Structure 1
Amino acid sequence: MPRRRLLAATAAVLLAAAGAGCGDESGGFGADGRLAVVTAFYPLEFLARRIGADAVTVTELTKPGSEPHDVELNPRQVAAISDAGLVVHLAGFQPAVDEAVAQEAADRALDVGSVVPLLSPAADEHEHVPGEPEHAEGAKDPHVWLDPVRFATIADKLAERLGQADPARAAQYTARAATLHGELDKLNAEYAAALRTCARREIVTSHTAFHYLADRYGLTEVGITGISPESEPSPQRLARVAEQARSTGTTTIFFETLVSPKVAETIAREVGARTAVLDPIEGITEAGSDYFTVMRANLSALTAALGCPS
C-alpha cells in the first residue's frame, strides 16, 4: 500500500539518523522545560492546549483545514513523535499515525479510544459498495469528541497522563481539566435542553460522523456516505436516503466543511430541501473558532433544521 511504503521509507530515514541521539536525552521535555506533546488531529490538540496551557508545547500532525482520515506523515513529524513526552491519538482513525506511534512511542502514547466506550458504526454504515473495502470486524466509529460527555472523560484522562509525564505540574493539569470538564458539562446541558422537544428527530448528513451526537441526544442520523467522507454512495443508497428524507419531512441536508457538498446538494434538490453546514470538527477552518464555538454553531444549525422551539 502507498501509505505503508511511505511510512517504511520515513522510518528508514529516521533510523539512519539515529546516531544523532534524537530525543534520547530530552526525556520528552524541550530546552525551555516544557513537556512536548504531539496530537493526531484538532480535537485532541484542543484538549492538550487547554489542559497543558503554557506548561506544554503541542505539535498537531494534521494541518489545519486538512481532512484527517488519511493523513500521511513526513520525517519531521515522525521525529516529533519519537521525541514527545506524550502522544495523543485515536487508534484506528489514522493508520499512518498508529504505525508511527507503535514504532516510536508505544510507551508514551494515550489512545483516547481506550478511555471511553466507542460506538459501532450506525446500522446503515454496514452497507457494502462494490469495489470498496468492507469494514473490519469490530470496527468502531471514531468521532467520539462530538459527544461532550465522553469528551469530558477523555479530558480528565489526558490530565492524568500529563501529570504522570510531568509530576511537578500534575496539580495544574488536574485543575485545568476540571475547569474544562465543567464547560463541557454546560455544553451538554445546552444541547439536551435545545434538542429535547423538536418537530423532527432525523438528521441527514453527507458524512456519517454524528452518531455519537445523535446517540447522546436521542436523534437519528441518516448518512449519505459512510464514516470515510471520501467513499461514494451507491445509486441505491442515494435513492434510499432521498426516500427517508421525504418520509420524515426533512427540510435540511447537512454537509461539512472539509469535503465537497455535491452529494448533499444532489439529495437536497431531489427532495426540495435546503443545505446547511454541520461541522464534525475534524479540523478548524475559520480563524478565531474553537471546539466550543463550532459545537454551538452546530447546535444552532440543528435547532433550525429540526424545528426545535427557541
Structure 2
Amino acid sequence: MRKTWIPKALAFAAITTGILTGCSASPASSDGKLNVVTTFYPMYEFTKQVAGEHANVVALIPAGAEPHDWEPSAKDMKKVKEASVFVYNGIVEGWVDDALESAGNEKRIVIEASKGITLMEGLPEEEGHGHEHKDDHKEAQDGKVLDPHVWLDPVLAQKEVNTIAEGLAQADPAHKDDYRKNADAYIAKLQALDTSFRTSLTSVKRKEFVTQHTAFGYLAKEYGLTQVPIAGLSPEEEPAPDKMADIIKFAKYNQVKTIFFETLVDPKVAKTIAKEINAKTDVLNPLEGLTSKEMKDNHDYLSVMNSNLEALMKALNE
C-alpha cells in the first residue's frame, strides 16, 4: 500500500509553529565552522570526508535506525532549521521537501547528492515499495518508482562526493580549495574501491545473487551482475507468496547457495528461503545506516563496502 506524506506535512507545520518560531539562521557554529546537517549514514560519511576541519557535521538518523520510514522529531526539525548546509540523498528521505519548507531558512544551502545522476527504475508500484517522494522523483512515467541506492555504486558515489563538495564550496567560498582537495582525496579511495570490485568480480563463476530487498541494482549494473531481490525497494516489505515461490524456484534452478540479508532489518524472509533450498545466509550491507557495534568497531563506508565485496566473491564463486 502506498504511503502518503500529507499527515507529515501537517505535523511539520505544527512543529514549526510551536517550536521553531523565532529561531534564526545559523550560518556557522560558535567555533566559526559550518553547521552541516545530513540525513543518513552515507550522506554523513561523504560530507564529513569533504568538509574536514571546516564543518561540524551531524546525521539526523541515528545509528541502528532504518532510514526508509524514519521521520524527524521536533528536535530534528530544529537542527534542520538552524543548519547552514543540509545534505540529503534524494528519494529515500520522503519527508525532506515538507521539512525544508516548514523549517524555512533562506540562507541555508541544500545539497541533493544524487542530483544529476540518471536513476534506475525500481519494482512496479503494485508490488509495493514503501517510498513516497515528490516532483520528478515521484515515479517514472510507466508507473515504476525510482531506485535511490546510488551510493552503493563506487562510481556513482564519486559523483555524490563531487556534488557535496560543490555545495560546501558555495556555502563557504573561503575554503573551497580545501573542500576540493578533500573531495579529490576521498574520490581516489573510491576509485581504488571501484578497481577492487571490477577486478575481483570479472571472473566469478556466477553472476546472479539473491538479496532481501532491491538495494544493489546500481552495483550490479556497474559490475555486470544480476540482482535477484526477494522484496522491493523498502526493506520492510514482505513478498507475496507467489513471489516467494518464484525466488525459491530460481534459487533451486541456479543452485544458489547463499541468500543475502542486511543488518538493520529482520532477516526472517531470507532465512526462510535459505532453509527451503538448503542454502546459508550472509550479510550484504546496503549501508543505509551503521549499527552501534559497527560504529564502535570503527567501520565506515569503505570498510563495509570491502566486506560486501568479500561476501559477493564468496557467494558468486560457490
Query: TM-score, normalized by length of structure 2?
Result: 0.89
Structure 1: any 5+ residue segments left out of the alignment? none
1:153 is matched with: 159
In the alignment, structure 1 residue 188 sits paired with structure 2 residue 194: yes
Shift in Å at residue 11 of structure 1? 3.1
Note closer, same or farther for the CA distance 1:17–1:298 as it changes in structure 2 (3 Å cut): closer
Stretch of structure 1 that moved more, 10-19 or 40-49: 10-19
1:64 is matched with: 63
Stretch of structure 1 that moved more, 128-137 or 275-284: 128-137
Q: Deviations over 1:89-143 (max 9, x none)?
A: 123212223320233358621112213221111xxx2273499899963121001
2:124 is matched with: 126
Query: TM-score, normalized by length of structure 1?
Result: 0.91
> Secondary structure of the residue that 2:189 maps to in structure 1?
helix
2:32 is matched with: 33
Q: Give me the whole-angstrom Cα distance separating, in 1, the residues matched to 2:244 and 2:8.
A: 35
Q: Give me the whole-angstrom Cα distance separating, in 1, the residues matched to 2:237 and 2:120.
A: 20
Q: Give me the whole-angstrom Cα distance separating, in 2, the residues matched to 1:250 and 1:240.
A: 13
Note closer, same or farther for the CA distance 1:234–1:165 as it changes in structure 2 (3 Å cut): same
Stretch of structure 1 that moved more, 46-55 or 94-103: 94-103
The count of residues paired between Structure 1 and Structure 2 equals: 302
Shift in Å at residue 23 of structure 1? 2.6
2:46 is matched with: 47
Stretch of structure 1 that moved more, 72-81 or 234-243: 72-81
Q: How does 1:143-292 map to 2 (within 5 A)?
A: 143-285=149-291, 286=294, 287=296, 288-292=298-302
Two-structure CA RMSD over aligned residues (Å): 2.3
> Secondary structure of the residue that 1:196 maps to in structure 2?
coil
Kept in 1, the 8 Å contact 2:130–2:234? The answer is no
Q: Deviations over 1:46-89 (max 9, x none)?
A: 01111112211112111111000011111121111111111111
2:11 is matched with: 9
One-letter amino acid matched to 1:40: T
One-letter amino acid matched to 1:119: M
Shift in Å at residue 300 of structure 1? 0.5
Identity level (%): 38
Kept in 1, the 8 Å contact 2:4–2:132? The answer is no
Kept in 2, the 8 Å contact 1:87–1:105? The answer is no
Kept in 2, the 8 Å contact 1:255–1:275? The answer is yes
Structure 2: any 5+ residue segments left out of the alignment? none
Shift in Å at residue 239 of structure 1? 0.5
Kept in 2, the 8 Å contact 1:115–1:154? The answer is no
1:100 is matched with: 99
Q: Give me the whole-angstrom Cα distance separating, in 1, the residues matched to 2:273 and 2:101.
A: 41
Note closer, same or farther for the CA distance 1:130–1:190 as it changes in structure 2 (3 Å cut): closer
Q: Give me the whole-angstrom Cα distance separating, in 1, the residues matched to 2:66 and 2:155.
A: 24
1:303 is matched with: 313
Q: Deviations over 1:232-282 (max 9, x none)?
A: 100100000111111222110000000011100111111111100000000
